[in-house]
Chains A and B, each alone.
Chain A
Amino acid sequence: AIQMTQSPSSLSASVGDRVTITCRASQGIRNDLGWYQQKPGKAPKVLIYVASSLQSGVPSRFSGSGSGTDFTLTISSLQPEDFGTYYCQQDYDYPLTFGGGTKVEIK
């Protein structure tokens, strides 16, 4: 199975900060990667698909980049409602796998 490794595992940042989360795949996955946000007690919500496409309704402060094995999710200006845990997920091969998550806390 393709292993997805996220870093950092947690971060604390202030409103307005630029936040970057990285995801590394154990083998090349082209651009078959999505990013999901999960708030406590809720189901995950898609933010980005195919590495850089913004899902409809998601604020433009979220962006994704990368291809092959290294990917990045960027929040250009962190907002109070952006707290939660962020997961990357590869869609390149079965079994589909998720990263371990990055917990984002607002200072």
Chain B
Amino acid sequence: QLQLQESGPGLVQPSETLSLTCTVSGGSVSSASYYWTWIRQPPGKGLEWIGHIYYSGSTKYNPSLKSRVTISVDTSKNQFSLKLSSVTAADTAVYYCARRVTRPEFFDYWGQGILVAVSS
């Protein structure tokens, strides 16, 4: 059974960089069949796709965040990571990592989510 687990600080200072890691167990981030994805959800609001990384290292980002987002993968640790720079209170959200199947395309596994608050 695949499991994804987000980890990282729950509080980030404004203007700093938010850094999260998703550890994958029961499967491999090196598989060509999936995109490894970050999605966020501000408290009480809807879902926003942040971006994904493919096993090859190729990435796709939401243009609304593109200048501030970096997603990377560490195959040796079976992890992928999110960095979001210059955060503001608007970046306060539950951050989910998820696996997206490539054919057909849908999110089949999600982490439990991690709440990250941006506050001084």
Contacts and interface: CB of A to CB of B under 8 A. Distances in A.
Interface residues of B, number: 19
A6 B92 CA distance: 24
A91 interface: yes
A98 B45 CA distance: 11
Closest 6 pairs between A and B when the two form their complex, measured CB to CB: A43-B110, A49-B106, A96-B49, A91-B105, A95-B62, A98-B47
Instruction: Indicate the size class of the contact surface on chain A.
Output: 20 to 34
Nearest to A91: B105
Contacts of B62: 94-95
Nearest to B65: A95
Given A43-B110, A43-B111, A87 B47 contact: yes
10 contacts: A42-B112, A44-B110, A50-B104, A50-B106, A55-B106, A89-B107, A91-B105, A95-B62, A98-B48, A100-B46
Interface of A is mostly: loop
Interface in B50-66: 60, 62-64
Contacts of B106: 34, 46, 49-50, 55, 91
B107 A36 contact: yes
B107 A53 contact: no
Contacts of A42: 112
Given A32-B105, A53-B104, A98 B111 contact: no
Given A96-B49, A99-B46, A46 B60 contact: no
A78 to B, nearest CB: 22
Interface string A40-59: 00111110011001010000
A97 interface: yes
A46 B107 contact: yes
A55 B109 CA distance: 12
Contacts of A89: 47, 107
